């Protein structure tokens, strides 16, 4: 019993230590820094200020903040629209290769996301695959501007994050009891009404999980907007990255403030998810 | 019962799944206002029959007729038929009220009317105070009632019940049997119940259909099926039965003189039999009579065996007797005033007979 509890303590202790060192402490530092003044020579000056936050809500930073929510929301919506039917068909499939098919959804993601994003940028470039094909078959004369647009960024997000939508949806639809569908039809509901009144609400834990799993990374993945969106700062994640890594700016307090804001928003969304999943008494995550 | 109008009719219906035939040229008539039970072992096609009427399955061939109209191509949501599902399939995200109101909403009944109708049916099933509960907050019996209410509120022409009581415990099941029967009488709606439980079938139904391997074995009133089964399958599915082998020896007056498991007896039957014909005799345990051998020292022409087990059941004494030729006979004798304390010793040699006229004779039974 004593050995057991020692093992117990050590393993838990390692995890706690890890989280303390690499999650909690950095976040506390960031939180503290976000309330400090910017100093070009020594990064940070230990003087309390709310300027970093004020700068966000007054400056055009706020526009970018809103814009990043918009882009993330569009990407999430597209993932849902594509992912739901996909997951539905997959989950309802009677094929014995069903499990394998679900695995195939994930396999492309064994390649580094960064490499795949570069690949997308080559496909979308002016002399890239898509433009070349479109010109060859004569649909267009001059190459379309595909790369370095918001559209390209959204495409990148949808491509990268789709499995995070499909998998929780697949899990809920798979567990869904189709007796309810028969019961609804028996009571006179058409296919559309059955979907709206029965299938949709009963699979909503999967929808919410998928939305959370796509929306939150879409806010945070900075390399997709920077590679596919060009030099423009499109999203908060770019601002944060710039503030920390670009040698010219290096405004750590401002970057920290942006990070804290995003963390708060994400925290609220996760809280909302747990609240909603409680009311359905099912959990996917 | 007078001749009633046919409400549902299945004509020459065939259905197979993955090449395996489930229903074989099934003909079935359901009369308006009756309580019909389809009884059979699992896999006999009874649930498929129900699902064909509900519209969840499509017949490979044949006609399904409801109220004079062929409904083969009418989808489930447009049939005036509602189902109570085996595990109720109550919508878990809706309250009792919303569950019951669902069908009315789908049929675009005005809101105020919905409320009245739901309240009325809740009164019938005695669940008024549970109106705002979710299904998981109800007991099995209450869920069962909600499922009934949800189907009945739409005033279906036929209510289909797919093993509705199988998820309930024994005492609740007997109560629900009574309630279902009373409800059916009160509402006058045609009930079609599918079950593999013979007691359920016998105690609730006006008519019982016994199915086996996709065909109807026999159809009749519970009494009819119990007393005059036309096959060993029906006899043994409806209740305990003794299957005895007999041979025709000759004819005396209007009676058949036969030898049944060694017993010489005279049997009255309408069946055409010839001398030397072999036949099967079916007898319920309660039709059997046991006599102590001390009263019949000569065992020639008698069915003789030893008492193998005896179980005191309060109202009856149930015994099994092993005949000298190895056949096991089940007997169930009532205690009455005259023989209040009859009893047997284990392994006691007895002679077995039966109440003359209560036997059922089957010719050329396949089994």
Q: What ipTM was predicted for this assembly? A: 0.82
Cβ–Cβ pairs < 8 A, chains A and B: 61
Q: What average pLDDT does this structure show over B345-352?
A: 86
pLDDT level of residue A184 (50, 70, 90 thresholds) = very high
Q: Do A185 and B103 touch (CB under 8 A)?
A: no
Is B17 within 8 Å of chain A by CB?
no
Q: What is the CATH number of domain B6-237?
A: 3.40.50.300
Q: How confident is the model at residue A189 (pLDDT cuts 50, 70, 90)?
A: very high
Out of B91, B107, B154, closest to residue A198 by CB: B91
Q: Please provide the distance, in angstroms rounded to a whole number, between the alpha carbons at the two ends of chain A.
A: 33
Per-residue confidence band for A3, with pLDDT thresholds at 50, 70 and 90: low
Confidence check: pLDDT of A279 > 70 = no
Q: Is the pLDDT of residue A248 over 90?
A: no
B162 touches B85 (CB < 8 A): yes
Q: Compute the distance between CA of residue B22 and CA of residue B45 in angstroms, rounded to an integer.
A: 6
Q: Is the pLDDT of residue B365 over 60?
A: no
Q: What is the pLDDT of residue A285?
A: 43
Q: How far is A194 from chain B (nearest CA, A)?
A: 10
| Orientation angle between helical segments A252-280 and A51-58, nearest 10 degrees | 70
**Span of A44-53, A112-121, A205-214, B156-165 with lowest mean pLDDT:** A44-53
pLDDT at B337: 66
Is the CB of residue A182 less than 8 Å away from at least one CB of chain B? yes
Partners of residue B80 in chain A, C-beta under 8 Å: none
Question: Which has the minimum average pLDDT: A42-46, B46-50, B88-92, B347-351?
Answer: A42-46
Q: Is the pLDDT of residue B1 over 50?
A: no
- Which of the residues B57, B99, B103, B109 would you substitute to probe the A interface, choosing the one with the greatest number of A C-beta atoms within 10 Å? B103
Whole-number Å distance between alpha carbons of B187 and B33:
9
Across chain B, mean pLDDT equals: 89
Top-ranked range on mean pLDDT: pick from A55-59, A227-231, A281-285, B307-311: B307-311
A-chain residues near B102 (CB < 8 A) = 184, 187, 189, 197
Give mean pLDDT, residues A244-269.
Answer: 84
Longest dimension (CA), chain A: 77
Q: Please indicate if any CB of chain A lies within 8 Å of the CB of B89.
A: yes
Yes or no, beta carbons of B91 and A180 under 8 Å apart: yes
State phi, psi for B292 to the nearest 5 degrees.
-70, 140
Q: List the single range of A204-218, B235-249, B339-353 with lowest mean pLDDT.
A: B339-353
Nearest chain A residue to B86 by CA: give it: A179
| A187/B103 touch (CB, cutoff 8 Å), yes or no | yes
> Do the chains contact at B54 and A186, CB–CB below 8 Å?
yes
Chain B contact for A186 (CB, 8 A cutoff): yes
Separation of alpha carbons A129 and A123, rounded Å: 5
What confidence score (pLDDT) does residue B367 get? 40
Question: Does residue A95 or residue B177 have the better pLDDT?
Answer: B177
Closest-CA distance, A231 to chain B, in angstroms, reads: 48
Residue B3 banded pLDDT, cuts 50, 70, 90: low
Question: Does the pLDDT at position B366 exceed 50?
Answer: no
Strand-by-strand arrangement of the B35-39 sheet:
B81-84, B158-162, B190-195, B35-39, B207-212, B215-220
Per-residue pLDDT of B190-245, as tens digits, reads 999 999 998 899 999 999 999 999 999 999 999 999 988 989 999 999 989 999 98
pLDDT-derived band at B346, boundaries 50, 70, 90: confident
- Report CB contact under 8 Å: A184, B83: no
Contacts of A196 in chain B (CB under 8 A): none
Sequence spans of domains, chain A: 60-280
Write out pLDDT tens, residues A78-97. 999 999 999 999 998 888 88
- Contacting A residues, span 252-281, partner chain B, CB-CB under 8 Å: 280-281
- Tell me which residues of chain B, numbers 154 to 213, contact chain A at a CB-CB cutoff of 8 Å: 154
Q: What is the pLDDT of residue A2?
A: 56
Q: Which of A19-23, A278-282, B306-310 has the least mean pLDDT?
A: A278-282
Give tens-digit pLDDT for B251-261. Answer: 887 888 888 88
Distance from C-alpha of B73 to C-alpha of A33, rounded to nearest angstrom: 71
Give the HSE-up count for residue A99: Cα atoms under 13 Å, Cβ half-sphere: 1
pLDDT at B339: 65
Structure confidence at residue B89 (pLDDT): 93
Confidence of residue B297 (pLDDT cuts 50, 70, 90): low
Min Cα separation B170/chain A (Å) = 25
pLDDT (average), residues A183-187: 95
A212 touches chain B (CB under 8 A): no
Sign of the CA dihedral A241, A242, A247, A249?
A: negative
Q: Which residues of chain B make contact with A281, given a CB cutoff of 8 A?
A: 136
- Whether the pLDDT of residue B332 is over 50: the answer is yes
Question: Which residue of B lies nearest to A198 if distances are taken between CA atoms?
Answer: B91
Q: Does B269 contact chain A (CB < 8 Å)?
A: no
Specify the CATH superfamily of domain B240-363.
Answer: Nucleic acid-binding proteins (2.40.50.140)
- Residue B255's DSSP bridge partners are B252
pLDDT band at B277 (very low <50, low <70, confident <90, very high): confident
Shortest distance, CA A138 to any CA of chain B (angstroms): 48
* Confidence band, pLDDT 50/70/90 cuts, at residue A284: very low
CATH of A60-280, one of 1.10.3720.10, 2.40.50.100, 3.20.20.100, 3.20.20.105: 1.10.3720.10
Give the tens place of pLDDT for each residue, B18-72: 889 999 999 999 999 999 999 999 889 999 999 999 999 999 999 999 999 999 9
- Chain B positions in Cβ-Cβ contact with residue A184 (cut-off 8 Å): 91, 102, 106
With bands split at pLDDT 50, 70 and 90, how would you rate the model's confidence at A50?
confident
Report the pLDDT value the prediction gives residue A277, as an integer from 0 to 100: 67
pLDDT of residue B252: 82
How far apart CA A90 and CA A176 sit, in angstroms, is 13
């Amino acid at each position: 019993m004593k050995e057991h509890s020692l093992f117990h303590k050590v393993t838990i202790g390692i995890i706690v230590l890890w989280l303390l060192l690499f999650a909690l402490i950095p976040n506390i530092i960031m939180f503290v820094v976000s309330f400090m003044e910017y100093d070009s020579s020594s990064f940070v000056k230990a003087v309390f200020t709310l300027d970093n936050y004020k700068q966000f809500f007054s400056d055009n930073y706020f526009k970018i903040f809103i814009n990043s929510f918009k882009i993330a929301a569009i990407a999430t919506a597209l993932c849902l629209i594509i992912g739901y039917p996909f997951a539905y068909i997959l989950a309802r499939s009677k094929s014995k290769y069903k499990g394998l098919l679900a695995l195939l959804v994930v396999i492309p993601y064994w390649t580094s996301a960064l490499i795949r994003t570069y690949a997308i940028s080559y496909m979308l470039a002016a002399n890239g695959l898509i433009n070349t094909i479109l010109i060859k078959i004569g649909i267009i004369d001059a190459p379309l501007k595909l790369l370095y647009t918001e559209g390209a960024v959204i495409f990148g997000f949808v491509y990268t994050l789709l499995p995070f939508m499909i998998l929780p949806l697949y899990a809920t639809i798979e567990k869904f009891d189709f007796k309810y569908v028969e019961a609804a039809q028996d009571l006179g509901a058409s296919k559309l009404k059955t979907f709206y009144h029965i299938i949709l609400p009963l699979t909503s834990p999967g929808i919410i999980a998928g939305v959370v799993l796509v929306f939150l990374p879409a806010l945070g993945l900075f390399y997709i907007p920077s590679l596919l969106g060009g030099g423009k700062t499109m999203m908060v994640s770019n601002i944060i990255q710039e503030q920390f890594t670009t040698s010219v700016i290096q405004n750590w307090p401002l970057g920290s403030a942006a990070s804290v804001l995003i963390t708060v928003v994400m925290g609220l969304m996760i809280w909302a998810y747990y609240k909603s999943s409680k009311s359905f008494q099912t959990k996917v995550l | 019962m007078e001749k009633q109008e046919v409400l549902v009719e299945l004509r020459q219906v065939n259905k197979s799944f993955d090449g395996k035939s489930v229903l074989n040229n099934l003909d079935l008539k359901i009369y308006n206002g009756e309580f019909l039970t389809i009884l059979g072992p699992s896999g006999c096609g009874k649930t498929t029959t129900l699902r064909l009427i509900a519209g969840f399955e499509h017949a490979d061939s044949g006609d399904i007729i409801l109220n004079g109209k062929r409904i083969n191509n009418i989808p489930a949501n447009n049939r005036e038929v509602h189902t109570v599902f085996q595990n109720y399939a109550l919508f878990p995200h809706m309250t009792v009220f919303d569950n019951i109101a669902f069908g009315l909403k789908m049929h675009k009944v005005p809101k105020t009317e919905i409320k009245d109708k739901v309240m009325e049916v809740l009164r019938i099933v005695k669940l008024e105070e549970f109106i705002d509960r979710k299904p998981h907050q109800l007991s099995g019996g209450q869920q069962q009632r909600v499922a009934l209410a949800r189907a009945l509120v739409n005033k279906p022409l036929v209510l289909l019940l797919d093993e509705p009581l199988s998820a309930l415990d024994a005492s609740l099941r007997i109560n629900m049997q009574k309630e279902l029967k009373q409800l059916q009488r009160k509402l006058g709606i045609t009930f079609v119940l599918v079950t593999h439980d013979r007691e359920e079938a016998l105690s609730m139904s006006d008519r019982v259909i016994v199915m086996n391997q996709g065909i109807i074995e026999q159809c009749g009133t519970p009494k009819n099926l119990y007393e005059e089964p036309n096959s060993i399958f029906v006899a043994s599915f409806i209740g305990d039965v003794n299957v005895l082998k007999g041979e025709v020896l000759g004819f005396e007056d209007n009676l058949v003189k036969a030898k049944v498991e060694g017993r010489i007896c005279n049997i009255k039957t309408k069946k055409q039999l010839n001398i030397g014909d072999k036949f099967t005799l079916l007898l319920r345990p309660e039709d059997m009579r046991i006599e102590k051998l001390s009263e019949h020292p000569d065992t020639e022409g008698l069915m003789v065996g030893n008492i193998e087990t005896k179980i005191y059941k309060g109202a009856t004494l149930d015994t099994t007797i092993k005949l000298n030729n190895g056949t096991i006979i089940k007997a169930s004798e009532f205690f009455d005033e005259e023989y209040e304390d009859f009893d047997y010793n284990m392994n006691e040699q007895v002679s077995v007979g039966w109440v003359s006229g209560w036997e059922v004779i089957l010719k050329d039974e396949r089994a």
